[in-house]
Amino acid sequence: MSKDGNRVYFGLSNVHVAKMIIGEDGSITFGTPFKVPGAVNLSLDAEGDSEPFYADNIKFWESFANNGYSGDLEIAKLPEEFETEILGQRKDANGAIIENVNDKISPFAFMYQVEGDQTGTRFCYYNTTVSRPSTEANTTEDTKTPNTNTLSITTSARADTGDVRIKLPYSEENKEIYEKFFEKVYEPTEIPSV
């Protein structure tokens, strides 16, 4: 059994994003996270190669590159806030969302929760980028099957700290931080020296 008490993980919920703000001096801060409801599926693959070094007729040493993750996020419907804050589209006085060739897609922190048989675990990927979603619509037949949006996402390390992601399982010791996890982007605390 894992330290958090879970034997299995399942489910996806509480998807939030927070726009990354890069200062003139290169400092990184984040806007207030907002919810992206309707999470259907998330699939992320680790990126990075290994390079072995051979000596004495054996694999003597091996280095590994951590280039983050890439994959797809499927959601029920993109909220307007995501279209304007992250995809860089604009909303006019009539409520129309306008996509323009000059839109600038912003990097963001990507946060979500995965359930376990005992407790949930919360994740935050610090430097996430996304491509524009494809558009699909289908006719209604005997049953109504909702259309979804699929976003191709890529995560990489923060330029200021090198951190790629954090994973926060629930515990009684971190209950307060866990409960406030989606209120602001989590910043690691120093590990006390022994």
What is the pLDDT averaged over residues 109-124? Answer: 87
Per-residue pLDDT, 7: 64
Claim: this prediction has a pTM higher than 0.85? no
Higher pLDDT, 34 or 9: 34
Q: How does 40-74 read in b/e, with b if 16+ C-beta sit within 10 Å?
A: eebebeebeeeeeeeeeeeeeeeeeeeebbbbebb
DSSP string, 9-60: EEEEEEEEEEEEEE-TTS-EEE---EE---EEEEEEEE---EEEEEETTEEE
Instruction: Return d(Cα 85, Cα 141) in angstroms, integer.
Output: 35
Instruction: Return d(Cα 46, Cα 41) in angstroms, integer.
Output: 17
Higher pLDDT, 20 or 61: 20
